[in-house]
Structure 1
Amino acid sequence: KIMLLQNPKPYLQQNKDSQTAVEMKNATLSWTSAAGEQHHLPSQNGEVKEDKEEENGRSQSLPTLRNISFTLPKGSLLGVCGNVGSGKTSLISSILEQMHLLQGSITADGTFAYVSQQAWIFHGTVQENILMGEPLDQAK
């Protein structure tokens, strides 16, 4: 089954010459737009999930992030941690305009680069996974 992804409308506002790198004000975002456009998020096992609830027999989109507000000053480092499914990837995706902004605003000054990480191990010992084919240097 092939699913087509609908790209969200651009919403990131540029705030040139600001002391703020990223600012979110009361942002509510979803993987599905208010108009019902689908933007499916692959789950960790590769299946496609849809955040929906039933109301009066009609399927309705659930916001993934609700009323998020923060200011990240330029030159700052922000760590985001939390349990699986708590919204870490959604937060990054919202800054990259990969979600649908339902309310609020997101502003930024500058450009972004994002490199995702896919953890993996191969069938072998812990040592073999660490060395990845290189010879063991006991001093290291």
Structure 2
Amino acid sequence: MPKGDGKTLAQNRKASHDYTIEETIEAGIELKGTEIKSIRRGSANLRDSYARVYQDEMYVYNMHIAPYEEGNRFNHDPLRTRKLLLKRKQIDKLFGESREKGYALIPLKLYIKNGYCKMLLGLAKGKKDYDKRHTLKAKEAKREMDRAMKGKY
């Protein structure tokens, strides 16, 4: 099964627009009981989140998981820092690569795989404005070609 397969619960669509994704890696995520219930309900947002190494552990910051409605006093803080579950070699490799200028670790997708919540992390390099315009022009040209081909047949 390729990485990233499973039931997608949240996706960072803006990441491919703002960044050039050079490498992806699958990571487990440490969650509390009401958090996983809320994620399964589809109440997670990855838009402004990022991952970083802190004291030899990988954490994800600014990932918003809405409070579970039936959770009463056992609910969690929606923006709390969550630990990612990776092997030591993976953490060291990502830490070294993300220290280079212009690189960041960006959560791309949150999904369920074999009953566990997983996150697809991308090693990304920020795009300049002219790169974004070029990507949009190429996408528009492809859309126009597809539209023209569809009309012929």
TM-score, normalized by length of structure 1? 0.24
TM-score, normalized by length of structure 2? 0.23
Query: Between Structure 1 and Structure 2, which shows a larger proportion of strand residues?
Result: 2
- Rg (Cα) greater in structure: 1
